Structure 1
Amino acid sequence: MTKAYVFPGQGAQFVGMGKDLYEQSALAKELFEQANDILGFRITDLMFEGTDEDLRQTKVTQPAIFLHSVILAKTLGESFQPNMTAGHSLGEFSALVTAGALSFEDGLKLVAQRAMAMQKACELEPSTMAAIVGLDDKTVEDACTAIDAVVVPANYNCPGQLVISGSFEGIDKACEKLTELGAKRALKLSVGGAFHSPLMEPARAELAAAIENTQINAPICPVYQNVSAQPFTAPTLIKKNLIDQLTAPVKWTQTVQNMLKDGAAHFTEIGPGKVLTGLIKKIDRATACENISSFQG
């Protein structure tokens, strides 16, 4: 059976995440303590005992989700045998580490640098995102193109659910236009900025050098990357896609469809929450899915 492992992105965090791993697995405890040393602060204290506000800090959110996903995968041992992997936005780094393309240490360092670079880009130009529900992709794409302000499709989450990203002006105009066109919902999201849009260019430029200088190996299985929704194993292409990811849309619907076309028979979401499990079911109702979000013993 062709097994696909997928990893969640930002927004899946919750207070207490990873605490059971830390307390019940010696390997997990060792990796969490290594992460505290790498980051220079005790992220475990914020993950296990912090507040929602603590976890919403960009420098905490992205590393926390990455750590929960990657360490959980590592505790699965021999039961973790993926034939293909993918991750949603930030989750792509989790997928690359668990597929052996990136070391745990390098993956965490890149995620921390990515978080800070994105935070800086958000502060340069305040911006936001909105979820558009109930319209086909082309209608949303055409409406964004026609608006005289920065607004672009950012996350193709599932059919009928597309997140747009841009300036406050662009998002306001797009939400108004798309509501007129029949969107069931045009909901502004509580996010720090316009992720996966041209407004992330400063972050892309800053992270590019760090990614170029990081050792990336051929993964043990194909990793389907957000930028094109295609499978990759060549380190040079994996690097390029990681760099481009910050300003390009997350093609999650297309990724899942391509994994299914290439033989995926069972999807397992590893990490906090079960957002991706829900999206995969909306992309193909017949697909077998499960989520693992806690220590399996």
Structure 2
Amino acid sequence: MKALIFPGQGSQFEGMGKDLFESSEIAKSIFNTANTILGFDITDVMFNGSVDDLKKTDITQPAIFIHSYICYELGNIKNPSAYAGHSLGEFTALTCSGSLSFEDGLSLVLERARAMNDACSVEESTMAAILGMGDDEVKKICRDFDDIDPANFNCPGQVVISGSSRNMSKACDVFKSNGAKAIPLSVGGGFHSIYMQPAKSRLEDAIMSIKFQKPNAPIYQNV
């Protein structure tokens, strides 16, 4: 069985995709098409932007989507048995499986990113990974904070929490004092939390305007 799993926000890095652009005409063509769809030169930010530039949600999400899609195209992977994606990566999975066109997939990702970016501007929020602690214990500690919640249950012993920036450091200190590791994530906001509620209706409207096709293999969703 061959399954393809695509990454989500936080997997960005400086210079992402530049090597692909310089070595592949296919990659160059996809980048140029992406610039046209987006209406701005995202390649300049991806190739030359700083860590802070790439951390901006309305840049990060389309950048990761484009990079992942190009890697898929260049990989020339035949007949995968299944697709999956981590959060944002589900849009890449939908696109690579043929459920969405590249244009529709990227357009949805851009609208999602802008809606989430606007939601982040309402109140500062962020995320952190908690390692080495069970799900129930993470939930218990989060209940002591009215603005911090478990967001992603990635695997046993790894839970991502999300919430307000003003209490995240304090929450991380509590997790550390209880024997866990707490790692702040390089993201632009507290995703998968109540802080994203303002983005919900905008994304729903955008999704309803797109026609989805049957994927060429099952897509295993996790959100």
What pairs up with 1:57-76 in 2 under 5 angstroms?
57-76=56-75
Cα distance in 2 for partners of 1:131, 1:82 equals: 30
Once the 2 structures are TM-superposed, how far is the Cα of residue 51 of structure 1 from its aligned partner?
Answer: 2.8
Cα distance in 2 for partners of 1:24, 1:189 equals: 31
Within the candidate set 132, 135, 146, 2:133 is matched to 135
AA at the equivalent of 2:193: S
SS of the residue corresponding to residue 83 of structure 2 reads: strand
Once the 2 structures are TM-superposed, how far is the Cα of residue 190 of structure 1 from its aligned partner?
Answer: 4.1
TM-score (norm 2): 0.91
TM-score (norm 1): 0.70
CA contact (8 A) 2:55 2:186 kept: no
CA contact (8 A) 2:10 2:186 kept: no
Once the 2 structures are TM-superposed, how far is the Cα of residue 193 of structure 1 from its aligned partner?
Answer: 1.6
Deviations 1:8-56 (A, max 9, x none): 1112222222223223332222221111011111111222233333322
Deviations 1:136-191 (A, max 9, x none): 111112322x32512211122222111100123553553344334332x2233343
User: Structure 1 stretch 166-175 or stretch 113-122: which is displaced more?
Assistant: 166-175
AA at the equivalent of 1:71: I
2:205 corresponds to: 209
1:218 corresponds to: 214
SS of the residue corresponding to residue 191 of structure 2 reads: coil
Cα distance in 2 for partners of 1:169, 1:30 equals: 43
Question: Which structure 1 segments of 5+ residues have no match?
Answer: 228-297
CA contact (8 A) 1:73 1:80 kept: no
Question: Which structure 2 segments of 5+ residues have no match?
Answer: none
What is the alpha-carbon root mean square deviation over aligned residues?
1.8
SS of the residue corresponding to residue 72 of structure 1 reads: helix
What pairs up with 1:19-98 in 2 under 5 angstroms?
19-77=18-76, 79-98=77-96
2:99 corresponds to: 101
CA contact (8 A) 1:147 1:173 kept: no
Once the 2 structures are TM-superposed, how far is the Cα of residue 67 of structure 1 from its aligned partner?
Answer: 0.3
After superposing on structure 2, the runs of 4+ consecutive aligned residues of structure 1 that deviate more than 4 Å are none
SS of the residue corresponding to residue 82 of structure 1 reads: coil
What pairs up with 1:1-297 in 2 under 5 angstroms?
2-77=1-76, 79-144=77-142, 146-172=143-169, 174-183=171-180, 185-227=181-223
Once the 2 structures are TM-superposed, how far is the Cα of residue 80 of structure 1 from its aligned partner?
Answer: 3.3
Cα distance in 1 for partners of 2:101, 2:60 equals: 20
**CA separation of 1:39 and 1:158: change in aligned 2, threshold 3 A:** same
Cα distance in 1 for partners of 2:174, 2:52 equals: 33
CA contact (8 A) 1:8 1:88 kept: yes
AA at the equivalent of 1:35: A
**CA separation of 1:128 and 1:52: change in aligned 2, threshold 3 A:** closer
Once the 2 structures are TM-superposed, how far is the Cα of residue 224 of structure 1 from its aligned partner?
Answer: 0.9
SS of the residue corresponding to residue 165 of structure 1 reads: strand
CA contact (8 A) 2:150 2:161 kept: yes
